[in-house]
Homo-oligomer: A and B are copies of this chain.
Amino acid sequence: MDFVFDATTEELRARLTAFMDECVYPAEEEFERQSAESGWSPPPLLEDLKEEARRRGLWNLFLPGEHGAGLTNLQYAPLAEIMGRSPRIAPAATNCAAPDTGNMELLAMFGAEWQRRTWLEPLLSGEIRSAFAMTEPDVASSDATNIATSIVRDGDEYVINGRKWFASGAMNPRCAIFIVMGRTSEDGSPHRRQSMVLVPRDTPGLTVRRGMRVFGYTDADHGGHAELLFEDVRVPAGNLIGEEGGGFAIAQARLGPGRIHHCMRLIGMAERAVELTCARALRRTTFGTPLARQGVVQDWIAEARVRIEQLRLLVLKTAWLMDTAGNRGAHTEIQAIKIATPREVEWILDKAVQVHGAGGVSQDFPLAGLWAAARSLRLADGPDEVHKRSLAYRELKKHMPAE
């Protein structure tokens, strides 16, 4: 057991940190300005940053195997943390932003050769973006067996009908392809009734209805969260990803890495919040005393440090376990980080907001926006309560008398 990153990781951390210091942080202010005017598209300066990241060899770091940088989860985790320090820019600039990351992985693992050529390649090169349409407004989608959108085979085609929402990224006009989860069967095992199909944006019958808000935010700079309407949408049968009935399994495979990426970025966000908090506390004075000398503020700062250290180690161990025992072998740990990280980071951000006063809730600091991101991750990919129930069940099972 040791706690040292390997040489590859350290080299990439240094390279990525330099990119952050030289390119990303200095662009943040302008990013916000452009963002306010660029509608549902990302601010133009992002393209320059993508170019630069690519030039520096900081591209597709998230993707294991031949198609990407080939890093392990344990190697990627600390890099994702660094990106999380400027989460609206860095992941996008390095082509490591959700939901494209999960979609690329999915296509790399399950996509047919022509699917990879047609959709994975332009995603890998950053030309287009993609969306993942799973959640539905009308059912509790954390239970995938509730999914109601129908995907019906009709000759050489699939016909899709249903309503989805919170398809992140889909408001971005450059989002060219949607991966859609739906029911292809009403019979058989409840976890074999779902399938996934590729639906290009311009397919007739598909309406991108509106952007959903997250605590008032449109998240327009990364393409928002769309409500989608599918009315007799027809795609060729070859647009099926993997096999019919394989949708649930693919979704599960997609979620493991997605969750850990979210958690690592959250930790980066927390570190950023601590920095901002300390800087503010040292600068701001009330009733004759700098905030940094108020016991309650000190308590928050210490708590933040104590919590971050624990979270990071659990995420790193989870990454290591995914690398060595597979996603299934890391099931408990993946759930544990999904439960612990968003809520603890939410707590840290809440305190950071408080230290910043009215500024904290406003657009002048990134804190309120980061808070909303952390808060919504207590729901995304299944609410905490679903994960806890499942985790508890496995814990109890250890103690059940053998039959």
A residues with CB within 8 A of B: 1-6, 74, 135, 137, 140-143, 146, 165-166, 212-218, 274-275, 278-279, 281-282, 284-287, 291-292, 294-299, 301-307, 309-311, 313-314, 316-317, 320-321, 332-333, 336, 339-340, 353-354, 357-364, 368-369, 371-372, 375-376, 378-380, 383-389, 391-393, 395-396, 398-400
Cβ contact within 8 Å between B357 and A379: yes
Are the CB atoms of A309 and B314 closer together than 8 Å? yes
CA distance A147 to B299 in the complex (A): 26
Interface centre among A215, A339, A359 (most CB of B within 10 A): A215
A391 partner residues in chain B, CB cutoff 8 A: 301-302, 305-306
Rounded to whole angstroms, the CA-CA distance of A28 and B295 in the bound complex is: 35
A299 to B392, CA, bound (A): 7
Task: Please list 26 pairs of residues, one from A and one from B, whose beta carbons are closer than 8 Å in the complex, sorted by A's number.
Answer: A1-B2, A1-B320, A2-B2, A146-B285, A165-B358, A212-B358, A214-B216, A215-B371, A216-B368, A278-B395, A294-B295, A295-B297, A295-B298, A296-B388, A297-B385, A297-B392, A299-B385, A299-B388, A299-B392, A302-B339, A303-B388, A304-B395, A310-B336, A353-B379, A358-B379, A361-B379
Q: Is the CB of B305 within 8 A of A140?
A: no
User: Could you tell me the dominant secondary structure of chain A's interface residues?
Assistant: helix
**Complex interface: chain B residues within 8 A of A215 (CB):** 215-217, 361, 368, 371-372
Given contacts A215-B368, A284-B140, contact A392 B339 (CB under 8 A): no
Q: A314-B309, A396-B278 are in contact. Are A358 and B296 (CB under 8 A)?
A: no
The one of B301, B332, B396 in contact with A396, judged by C-beta atoms closer than 8 angstroms, is B301
Query: Which of the residues B214, B309, B357, B364 comes within 8 Å of A361, measured between beta carbons?
Result: B214
- Which B residue's beta carbon lies closest to that of A313? B313
Partner of A1, one of B6, B213, B369: B6
Q: Are A399 and B279 touching (Cβ within 8 A)?
A: yes
| Complex: A274 Cα to B309 Cα, angstroms | 24
Q: Kindly list chain B residues whose C-beta atoms are within 8 Å of the C-beta of A303.
A: 388
- In contact, B317 and A313 (Cβ under 8 angstroms): yes
**Would you give the shortest CB distance from A76 to chain B, in whole angstroms?**
13
A333 proximity list for chain B (CB < 8 A)? 309
Q: Which of B2, B74, B142, B378 contacts A286 (CB 8 A)?
A: B142
**What residues on B are CB-neighbors of A306 within 8 Å?**
336, 339-340, 391
User: Which residues in B have their C-beta under 8 angstroms from that of A392?
Assistant: 297-299, 301-302, 305
Contact B361 A286 (CB under 8 A): no
Additional A-B contacts beyond A141-B358, A302-B389 (14; CB < 8 A):
A135-B358, A142-B357, A212-B364, A213-B368, A214-B361, A274-B395, A282-B399, A295-B296, A296-B299, A297-B385, A299-B392, A313-B317, A353-B375, A361-B379
Q: Which of A165, A358, A387 has the most CB of B within 10 A?
A: A358
Q: Which residue of B lies closest to A391 (CB)?
A: B302
When C-beta atoms are compared, the residue in chain B nearest to A400 turns out to be B282
B-chain residues with CB within 8 Å of residue A304 when the two chains form the complex: 395
Give CA–CA (A213, B364) in the complex, Å. Answer: 9
Q: How far is the CB of A49 from chain B (nearest CB, A)?
A: 24
Q: Is the CB of B143 within 8 A of A74?
A: no
Chain B residues with Cβ below 8 Å from A376 are 358, 361
- Among residues of B, the one whose C-beta sits closest to the C-beta of A285 is B140
Nearest CB on B from A201, distance (A): 22
Contact partner of A385 (CB less than 8 A), chosen from B296, B301, B307, B320, is: B296
